[in-house]
């Protein structure tokens, strides 16, 4: 699933191409009876309203709240896109052949991971922004820009590591009285933007076993997690995100963070930490695979916090 660096990479890309452009037509393959009456373009009636509210108004800019992409239009409407498990936005020239949309030119947009096109925004420059979403979990809706802060989809999203000061970060995690540190770092209502890959890398770097209970992690260690999370997320952004799985940038190209993993999906390999003789193990924690070094990432069991 795209995490903060991937979503930010997409937002940065969209800001380069979308400003001032208008959406002139929208096509959607999403349609599911499970969404009847919901604020989601998977409901057919909602999709018609979505289209009416978003066509022919210039894009002011794009930004991000947690893992949500927000495209602000001049008419006071914001398009919210959450890419969920397998979604990513692409930009280029597309053509419809029978019922399938295809990139017109050869290149990265024709990568197999970019071919599951469920939603197409046609722009007034003849190009398209499309959503490739193999498993169809993405969420797309519109919200009045002035209501964004109060909207339930965004109210439940906590600030990310960049928006939180060190003290705020520690306080938020400290409020949690129990729970495994990995699950807590991935809880979007506590701190947003961190998912499975980056939580593994952050815990590796800070020498914490992913199953350590939050109560056994002292404030000093939480401060370190805050610092390291910023550093690692920043590195992810600078490398254009992580493409070990489906994620691609808006040109359809892979990011490079997957080449820098020290622990994520390194099961069985030797630990890369200096002078550590450990090996990387994998264990399912809170329904997600955690990867960690069996030597330097200590599971602290006793209550150490004063
Ligand atoms: Zn190690």
Domains and CATH numbers, the chain: 4-155 (3.20.190.10), 166-293 (1.10.8.50)
Task: State whether the Cα torsion 165-171-174-177 is positive or negative.
Answer: negative
pLDDT confidence of residue 171: 97
pLDDT level of residue 229 (50, 70, 90 thresholds): very high
**Edge-to-edge strand order for the sheet containing 117-123?**
23-28, 117-123, 128-133, 87-92
pLDDT confidence of residue 298: 86
pLDDT tens for residues 42-89?
Answer: 999 999 999 999 999 999 999 999 999 999 999 999 999 999 989 999
Mean pLDDT of 132-146: 96
pLDDT level of residue 178 (50, 70, 90 thresholds): very high
pLDDT confidence of residue 284: 96
Query: Which residues neighbour ligand 1 (ion) by CB within 5 Å?
Result: 271, 273, 276, 278, 293, 295-296
Percent of the chain with pLDDT over 90: 94
Mean pLDDT of 201-230: 97
pLDDT confidence of residue 65: 94
pLDDT confidence of residue 303: 58
ipTM: 0.99
Strand (E) or helix (H) holding 185: helix 181-185
Cα distance between residue 51 and residue 24, in whole Å: 10
Distance 268 CA to ligand 1 centre (A): 12
Mean pLDDT of 142-170: 96
pLDDT confidence of residue 4: 97
Distance 279 CA to ligand 1 centre (A): 7
pLDDT confidence of residue 99: 84
Burial class (CB in 10 A: 0-12, 13-18, 19+), 210: buried
Distance 260 CA to ligand 1 centre (A): 16
pLDDT confidence of residue 300: 82
pLDDT confidence of residue 58: 98
Q: What is the DSSP letter of 68?
A: E
Cα distance between residue 15 and residue 254, in whole Å: 19
Distance 202 CA to ligand 1 centre (A): 13
Please say if the pLDDT value at position 37 is more than 70. Answer: yes
pLDDT level of residue 302 (50, 70, 90 thresholds): low
Please say if the pLDDT value at position 118 is more than 60. Answer: yes
pLDDT confidence of residue 28: 96
Distance 293 CA to ligand 1 centre (A): 5
Mean pLDDT of 138-160: 95
pLDDT level of residue 1 (50, 70, 90 thresholds): confident
Percent of the chain with pLDDT over 70: 98
pLDDT confidence of residue 243: 96
Please say if the pLDDT value at position 305 is more than 60. Answer: no
Please say if the pLDDT value at position 306 is more than 80. Answer: no
Q: In 3-state terms, what secondary structure has residue 254?
A: coil
Distance 65 CA to ligand 1 centre (A): 34
Distance 221 CA to ligand 1 centre (A): 18
Distance 146 CA to ligand 1 centre (A): 49
Mean pLDDT of 6-29: 98
Please say if the pLDDT value at position 198 is more than 80. Answer: yes
């Amino acid at each position: 699933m795209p995490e903060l660096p991937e979503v930010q990479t997409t937002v940065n890309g969209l800001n380069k191409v979308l400003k001032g452009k208008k959406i002139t037509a929208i096509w959607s393959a999403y349609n599911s009876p499970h969404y009847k009456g919901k604020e989601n373009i998977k409901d057919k009636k909602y999709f018609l309203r979505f289209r009416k509210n978003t066509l022919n108004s210039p894009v002011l800019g794009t930004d991000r709240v947690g893992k949500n992409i927000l495209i602000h239009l001049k008419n006071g409407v914001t398009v919210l896109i959450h890419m969920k498990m397998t979604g990513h936005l692409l930009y280029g020239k597309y053509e419809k052949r029978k019922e399938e949309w295809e990139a017109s030119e050869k290149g990265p947009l024709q990568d197999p991971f970019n071919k599951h096109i469920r939603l197409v925004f046609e722009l007034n420059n003849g190009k398209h922004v499309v959503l490739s979403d193999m498993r169809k979990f993405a969420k797309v809706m519109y919200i009045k820009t002035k209501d964004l802060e109060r909207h339930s989809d965004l109210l439940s999203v906590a600030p990310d590591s960049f928006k939180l000061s060190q003290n705020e970060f520690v306080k938020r995690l400290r409020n949690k009285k129990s729970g495994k540190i990995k699950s807590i770092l991935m809880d979007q209502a506590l701190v947003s933007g961190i998912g499975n890959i980056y939580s593994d890398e952050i815990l590796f770097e800070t020498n914490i076993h992913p199953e350590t209970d939050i109560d056994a992690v002292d404030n000093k260690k939480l401060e370190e997690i805050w610092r390291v999370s910023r550093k690692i997320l920043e590195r992810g952004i600078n490398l254009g995100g992580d493409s070990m799985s489906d994620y691609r940038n808006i040109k359809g190209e892979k990011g490079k963070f997957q080449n820098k993993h020290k622990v994520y999906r390194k099961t069985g390999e030797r630990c890369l930490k200096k002078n550590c003789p450990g090996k990387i193990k994998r264990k399912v924690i809170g329904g997600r695979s955690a990867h960690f070094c069996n030597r330097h990432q200590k599971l602290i069991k006793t209550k150490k916090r004063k």
